[in-house]
Amino acid sequence: MKIYNGDEVILGRLASAAAKAALLGEEVRIVNCDKAIVSGKKSNTFQLAKARRDRKGYPLKSAKHSRLPERYVRRTVRGMLPWKFTRGKEAFKRVMCYRGIPEEFQGKEFINLETASVKKLPTLKYITVREICKAIGWNEKNETIFLGSYFMNNKKP
């Protein structure tokens, strides 16, 4: 199993490395997805994200775009897989993304992509996935309250 760290890593390069590993048959986990970086001007990135969400025909039958950072990253990985073929769908099932670091991965070694680091960018124009998701409507506070109460009420004995 390969565990990639998304902290201050360019999203496209992280997604292509994860997609390649998944196509080769490896289980891929990406942690700290909300800290991954998309390069470019903030205003342009926000406009593209909102335009992608608004570019749908009949709202009840069109594609649903998730606002969660981990789903945003997973969708980016899906774009780098041959999704329409069985091989791509099976590879996509092997990819999981997480916000933060789950307890099951505490103490394990992460793969840090040095070639995809934010330090390689020629400019300081970038934005995190968390900021993009907040701009398209993700409400972190309500989700944390909901999930916290859900897990508190549904504990396993």
> Nearest 5°: CA angle at 74, between 141 and 108?
85
What does the pLDDT look like over 19-70, one tens digit per residue?
999 999 999 999 999 999 988 888 888 788 788 777 777 777 777 778 888 9
Domain boundaries, given as residue ranges, for the chain: 2-153
pLDDT confidence of residue 146: 47
Angle between helices 69-78 and 11-23 (to 10 degrees): 60
Mean pLDDT over all residues of the chain?
A: 84
Of 4-13, 60-69, 116-125, the least confident: 60-69
Rounded to an integer, what distance in angstroms lies between the CA atom of residue 118 and that of residue 17?
16
Return the number of other C-beta atoms located less than 10 Å from residue 128's C-beta.
Answer: 20
Q: Which CATH architecture group holds 2-153?
A: Alpha-Beta Complex (3.90)
Residue 131: burial class (beta carbons within 10 Å; 0-12, 13-18, 19+): middle
pTM of the model: 0.81
